[in-house]
Structure formats: structure tokens, C-alpha cells
Amino acid sequence: MSHENILELFERLTLLEKANERAIAQAHSLQAVQLVALHYLARCNRFSDTPAAVTEYLSATKGTVSQSLIQLEKKGMVTKVQDPEDKRVSHLKLTSLGRSLVKQTNQLALLDQALGGLDCEEKAALESLLRKTLIELQNTHKHAMFGPCSQCKHLQKSKGGHLCGLTKEPLYESDLVQICREYTHP
Ligand code: SF4
């Protein structure tokens, strides 16, 4: 397959997914960026739920994300919680309304539905190729990688379970599948 064909496929998939995202967001009186921010907050860990991390994940401008987060707060879907150790830092938590909206819209992604048609081997092969491509891109452009603890270079085993080698904080079972802005590919 040629380079051009692959790029064309990526473009088509992205456009279809984005259009679907806009439609779902509109149906819930949200902007697409707000919907993506909610889904990110549902999947990120406690080191990555700050406004700065959301901005980095969305690769959007600080102003756009800041406005989106203000709107989500006004709609009662997100709430800000001050960091107990550093008063300058605030964490964004989904409210029950925010969580319920994420749950309702989780299965609506077109790609999610299309992936249902692939078997385990095909999914594993596709994941590996996409991850390799993403890592190339992020390395070239120096973007944060965002990935789960379970696949991070800093994950360490400790007596009670797991530990983050970077922050030295304990990691719980639920942390292992959440995404983190400090994720480093092994
Ligand atoms: S192990 Fe990696 S992904 Fe997990 S919290 Fe630490 S830096 Fe983040």
C-alpha cells in the first residue's frame, strides 16, 4: 500500500469521526471540544486532570480550553477541586451529570463500532501499528504521549501493588488503565 493511500485513509477516518463527534456534541448542546474534554477527564489519572493537561491533550489553545472548561462547570458537568498540597493547582473532576453523559456517548463513536468487526489478532496488529505511528509523531513534534500506567516505563512493582517511579506515589489497580500526561514509552 502506498503512503498516499494510508494518508487518505487516515484523513477519511478522522473526518468521519470528527463529524460524528460534532453531531453527538450538538445533540447534547455541547461543542465537540467540550465533549472530548469530558471523555478525556473520564479516562485520565489524578496527575493529568488539570486544565494544563487537558489543553495539552486536546492540542488546542489555552483560551479555547479555558472557555470550554468554564462552560462545562456552568453546565454542572465538571467541578474544580484544589490540590491539597499545592493551592495553585486545581484538579477537574466529573460530576455525576458529566459521568452520565460520558457513559451515554461512549458507545457512539463510529470507530468504536467499526472496531467491533475486527478479531483480537487484527485489533492487536492495528493497535501496534497505530501506536508506533503515534510515537513517531509525538517524538518528532515533542508532544506529550499520554498513555496508561500499565504500559509506562515508570511503572514499578511494590509490596502492596504498584508505584509510579516518577512521582513515587502508589498506584491503585484502577490507575493502571487510566491515561497520564507523563506516560513514557518503554
Ligand atoms: S507510571 Fe507512568 S503513566 Fe503511570 S503515573 Fe507514573 S508516569 Fe504516569
What is the number of domains present in the chain? 2
Cα(2)–Cα(139) distance, integer angstroms = 23
Q: Are residues 87 and 158 in the same domain?
A: no
Q: Are residues 161 and 144 in the same domain?
A: yes
Q: Are residues 78 and 139 in the same domain?
A: no
pLDDT at residue 102 above 90? Answer: yes
Q: Are residues 133 and 112 in the same domain?
A: no
The residue among 117, 143, 158 that closes a domain is: 117
Cα(181)–Cα(186) distance, integer angstroms = 15
Query: Do residues 91 and 49 lie in contact, with contact meaning Cβ atoms separated by under 8 Å?
Result: yes
Q: Are residues 38 and 103 in the same domain?
A: yes
Cα(133)–Cα(179) distance, integer angstroms = 18
Q: In terms of residues, how long is the chain?
A: 186
Biggest CA–CA distance in the chain, Å, is 53
> 171: burial class by Cβ within 10 Å (0-12, 13-18, 19+)?
buried
Ligand 1, pocket-test mutation among 43, 44, 47, most atoms within 8 A of CB: 47
The residue among 117, 143, 167 that closes a domain is: 117
Q: Are residues 91 and 173 in the same domain?
A: no
Ligand 1 center–CA 71 separation, angstroms: 29
CATH code at position 22: 1.10.10.10
What is the reported pTM? Answer: 0.86
pLDDT at residue 108 above 90? Answer: no
CA torsion through residues 171, 176, 180, 182, sign:
positive
* Average pLDDT across the chain, whole number: 90
pLDDT at residue 13 above 80? Answer: yes
Q: Are residues 2 and 69 in the same domain?
A: yes
Ligand 1 center–CA 154 separation, angstroms: 6
pLDDT at residue 141 above 90? Answer: no
The residue among 68, 86, 117 that closes a domain is: 117
Task: Provide mean pLDDT across the span 93-118.
Answer: 86
Domain holding 16, by residue range, is 1-117
Task: Provide mean pLDDT across the span 15-35.
Answer: 91
